[in-house]
Amino acid sequence: MTLRFDNRVAIVTGAGGGLGREHALALAARGARVVVNDLGGARDGSGGSASAAEAVVAEIEAAGGEALASGASVTDADAVQAMVDQALARWGRIDILVNNAGVLRDKSFAKMTLEDFRFVVDVHLMGAVNCTKAVWDTMRERNYGRIVMTTSSSGLYGNFGQSNYGAAKMALVGLMQTLAIEGAKNDIRVNCLAPTAHTRMTEDLGAGLPLEALDPALVTPGLLHLVGDDAPSRCILAAGAGGFERAYVTLTQGVHIVGPDAADEIGARFDAISDRTNEIVPEMGAAQAMLELTKARSNL
């Protein structure tokens, strides 16, 4: 069955180029009406122009689709709300939000300024919060919503020179985990996409990458699945070069240690604590406490 988005309205941030553009074009090609949001700034977040968003809207309209351009900065909550209000005024609904906007200000932590750290966190994390907050109530009222946070392997696993970016990207996983729980009763499904693609965000790495294999368009099928009617929720989907994997935040069974020598015993038994046999993927944070209390009771 062909995945379609007829009568759905989607907002894609950072959609003036790269991954966001591919997401917007693909959603429109499958019937969605798309708000193409892009500040139009440089890779580090400086400057701004609506021309990038307008160009993608022109592509969508030329192919027979419907789209609306927005040059709002995701860091400006009032501008984001105005974008959402404009979409609601035109189409009466918002079904899909793809939080894709991002910037890079890479440096080793020793050389990074606090300003650069805060700015990257503000764009990636608070930008996604601003956009999600602006659509949350209308999705709750309609009992339908599909939201995707764009995370990264740099957040999940770390990457030299990207402490700010990695921190923000892992924070989006935490945001997704809780929003998926809170949105479940209103059929709001929230997921994360961890892409690998060659865009202007990775242009400095180009010499070491097989660029022909890292077409952003190869990531977008994963995004489409995450925003479809039959989408999962609380999923971290990794995608790139035609490969799709799923990442998990897991918890080992661990051991029970109490007493005056507990700190020393933890060191001595750290391999057992780290043993991944029978590890679990908790349904919510309380699972950690339950696991620990179960071990405590069994040792009474």
Q: Which residues pair with 12 in a beta bridge?
A: 36, 98
Report whether pLDDT(205) > 70: no
Nearest to 151 by CA among 241, 94, 219: 219
Distance CA 15, CA 252 (A): 39
The arithmetic mean of pLDDT across residues 133-151, rounded, is: 99
- pLDDT of 124 strictly over 90: yes
The whole-angstrom separation of Cα 33 and Cα 279 is: 42
Domains, the chain, with CATH or none: 9-247 (3.40.50.720), 262-298 (no CATH)
Give the pLDDT score at 42: 55
Query: What order of strands is seen across the sheet that includes strand 67-70?
Result: 67-70, 33-37, 9-12, 96-99, 145-150, 188-196, 236-240, 243-247
Structure confidence at residue 40 as a pLDDT band (50, 70, 90): confident
* Average pLDDT rounded to a whole number, residues 176-189: 98
Is the Cα dihedral 254, 256, 261, 265 positive or negative?
negative
Give the lowest-confidence range in 34-43, 167-176, 229-238: 34-43
Q: What is the pLDDT of residues 214-253, one digit of tens each?
A: 999 999 999 999 999 999 999 999 999 999 999 999 999 9
The predicted-structure confidence for 146-162, as pLDDT tens digits, reads as follows: 999 999 999 999 999 99
pLDDT of residue 181: 98
Q: Average pLDDT of the chain?
A: 94
Q: What is the pLDDT of residue 48?
A: 52
Q: Is the pLDDT of residue 163 over 70?
A: yes
Q: Determine which one of 144, 157, 165, 248 is catalytic.
A: 165
Q: Is residue 25 over pLDDT 90?
A: yes
pLDDT score at 50: 78
Active site residue 144: no
What pLDDT score was predicted for residue 56? 98
Task: State how far Cα 46 lies from the chain centre.
Answer: 22
User: Which pLDDT belongs to residue 213?
Assistant: 84
Q: How confident is the model at residue 199 (pLDDT cuts 50, 70, 90)?
A: low
- The better pLDDT of the pair 206, 125 is held by 125
Give percent of the chain above pLDDT 90: 89
Structure confidence at residue 206 as a pLDDT band (50, 70, 90): very low
- If you average pLDDT over residues 196-210, what whole number do you get? 62
DSSP string, the chain: -----TT-EEEETTTTSHHHHHHHHHHHHTT-EEEEE-----TTS----THHHHHHHHHHHHTT--EEEE---TT-HHHHHHHHHHHHHHHS---EEEE-------B-TTT--HHHHHHHHIIIIIHHHHHHHHHHHHHHHHT-EEEEEE--HHHHH--TTBHHHHHHHHHHHHHHHHHHHHHGGGTEEEEEEEEE--SGGGGGGGGGS-GGG--GGGTHHHHHHHTSTT--SS-EEEEETTEEEEE---B-------STTHHHHHHHTHHHHH--TT-B--SSTHHHHHHHHHHHHHT-
